[in-house]
């Protein structure tokens, strides 16, 4: 179902989300030129918005650290941010949310902590019109338009906001607005798509060549930045902070040696090359990478996706 809204109607829709108890967050640039989510109803859509440097949706559904249960009786502890409507989510991050949904809700068990927060999130994706620095989202089927992971996806086309339904909640929110014809949007999408490079996906397969793995491993400082910022990194560790009566879980990073450590100092993957291979198995083998480019933007060693793409292609 496709609808057609004016900008004033988009603002009206955001206000009705507020009336339903959602904190509406939209992108705003700070004095240093970085994008952060700001609460409220935007006066205008920030045309120059590329994406947040940090993965806001992942942080909303997977805060780190978070208390998960009490030691005394194993009773669960739930941490909530309340209802949040994210306006302006980029398609790569909506796609990443669909991935973390599958990871935490559709496998052997449903993660109740994730599930409770996820229920409180409303996603309004806004299609991209130009690629961000270091991104290759089109190659990974995650941009410039999202195929999943949103309640509503909007397309700003020459002053008109086309809105596509992605969930029952999205359908309900869009029901007051007039239906739209897909014709004009289709032509616009074809034009936008041309601006996004399409790399040879066949060459970006796991396992990655040993020479490339060594190249990346030699340059990696094991800082973990690429993992802290990756919207699809889902691994975590659990621990009991000193003096606390709860167990917390916090994000773990597969390029840090502790992640692979076993009893008596043994390791499943003792070398950086082993760890790098493991990371790429997840990103390209399982296919969790959305091509958002954050790892390349943050990497201090030229060892993240940008370097991999250059070597592999
Ligand atoms: S591996 Fe890099 S490009 Fe891929 S989703 Fe993670 S941060 Fe984005
Ligand atoms: S690949 Fe880059 S960002 Fe990732 S841990 Fe290594 S040095 Fe840090």
Same domain for 244 and 153?
no
**Degrees (nearest 5) of the Cα angle 270, 273, 279?**
95
Could you say which of 193, 220, 242 is where a domain stops?
Answer: 193
- Ligand 2 atom closest to the CA of 222, numbered from 1: 5
Same domain for 125 and 211?
no
Q: How far is the CA of 225 from the centre of ligand 2 (A)?
A: 6
CA distances from 69 to 170, 245, 246, 248 (A): 33, 9, 6, 7
- Ligand 2 atom closest to the CA of 216, numbered from 1: 1
**Averaged pLDDT for residues 152-174:** 97
Same domain for 167 and 216?
no
Same domain for 173 and 246?
no
Cα separation, 51 vs 36, in Å, equals 9
**Averaged pLDDT for residues 163-172:** 98
Same domain for 180 and 207?
no
Q: How far is the CA of 163 from the centre of ligand 2 (A)?
A: 38
Q: Which ligand sits closest to the CA of 299? A: 2
Residue 108 reports pLDDT greater than 90 = no
Same domain for 31 and 114?
yes
Residue 206 reports pLDDT greater than 90 = no
Same domain for 177 and 69?
yes
pLDDT > 70: percent of the chain: 100
| Long-range pairs, 13-17, Cβ under 8 A, ≥24 | 13/173, 13/174, 13/177, 14/41, 14/42, 14/85, 14/87, 14/124, 15/41, 16/173, 17/85, 17/122, 17/173
Residue 109 reports pLDDT greater than 90 = no
- Residue 100, ligand 1, Cβ within 6 A: no
Could you say which of 161, 193, 225 is where a domain stops?
Answer: 193
- Residue 307, ligand 1, Cβ within 6 A: no
Same domain for 120 and 41?
yes
Domain boundaries, position 291: 201-312
User: pLDDT-based confidence at 185, cuts 50/70/90?
Assistant: very high
Same domain for 236 and 212?
yes
User: pLDDT-based confidence at 302, cuts 50/70/90?
Assistant: very high
Q: How far is the CA of 128 from the centre of ligand 1 (A)?
A: 17
pLDDT digits (tens, 9 = 90+) for 54-68: 999 999 999 999 999
Choose one of 283, 287, 312 to mutate for the ligand 1 pocket test, by most ligand atoms within 8 angstroms of C-beta. 283
Could you say which of 175, 193, 211 is where a domain stops?
Answer: 193
Q: How many domains does the chain have?
A: 2
- Residue 298, ligand 2, Cβ within 6 A: yes
pLDDT digits (tens, 9 = 90+) for 113-130: 999 999 999 999 999 999
Same domain for 248 and 186?
no
- Residue 304, ligand 2, Cβ within 6 A: yes
pLDDT digits (tens, 9 = 90+) for 236-256: 999 999 999 999 999 999 999
- Residue 140, ligand 1, Cβ within 6 A: no
Same domain for 169 and 224?
no
Same domain for 188 and 208?
no
What pTM does this model have? Answer: 0.96
């Amino acid at each position: 179902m496709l609808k057609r809204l004016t900008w004033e109607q988009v603002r009206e829709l955001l206000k009705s989300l507020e009336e339903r108890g959602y904190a509406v967050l939209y992108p705003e640039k700070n004095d240093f030129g970085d994008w952060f989510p700001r609460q409220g109803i935007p006066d205008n859509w920030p045309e120059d918005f590329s994406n947040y440097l940090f993965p806001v949706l992942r942080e909303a559904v997977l805060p780190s650290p978070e208390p998960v249960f009490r030691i005394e009786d194993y009773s669960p502890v739930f941490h909530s941010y309340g209802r949040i409507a994210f306006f302006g989510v980029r398609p790569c991050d909506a796609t990443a949310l669909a991935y973390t949904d599958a990871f935490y809700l559709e496998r052997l068990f449903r993660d109740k902590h994730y599930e409770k927060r996820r229920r409180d999130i409303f996603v309004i994706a806004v299609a991209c019109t130009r690629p961000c620095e270091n991104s290759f989202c089109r190659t990974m089927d995650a941009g410039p338009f999202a195929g999943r992971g949103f309640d509503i996806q909007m397309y700003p086309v020459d002053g008109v906001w086309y809105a596509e339904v992605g969930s029952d909640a999205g359908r309900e929110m869009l029901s007051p607005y007039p239906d739209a014809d897909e014709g004009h949007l289709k032509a616009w999408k074809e034009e936008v798509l041309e601006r996004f490079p399409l790399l040879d996906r066949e060459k970006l397969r796991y396992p990655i060549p040993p020479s490339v793995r060594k190249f990346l491993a030699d340059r990696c400082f094991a800082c973990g930045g690429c993992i802290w910022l990756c919207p699809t990194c889902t691994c975590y560790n659990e621990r009991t902070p000193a003096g606390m009566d709860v167990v917390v879980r916090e994000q773990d990073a597969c390029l840090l040696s502790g992640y692979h450590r076993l009893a008596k100092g043994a390791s499943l993957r003792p070398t950086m090359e082993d760890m790098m291979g493991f990371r790429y198995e997840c990103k390209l083998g399982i296919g969790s990478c959305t091509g958002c480019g954050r790892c390349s933007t943050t990497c201090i060693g030229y060892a993240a996706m940008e370097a991999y793409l250059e070597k592999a292609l």
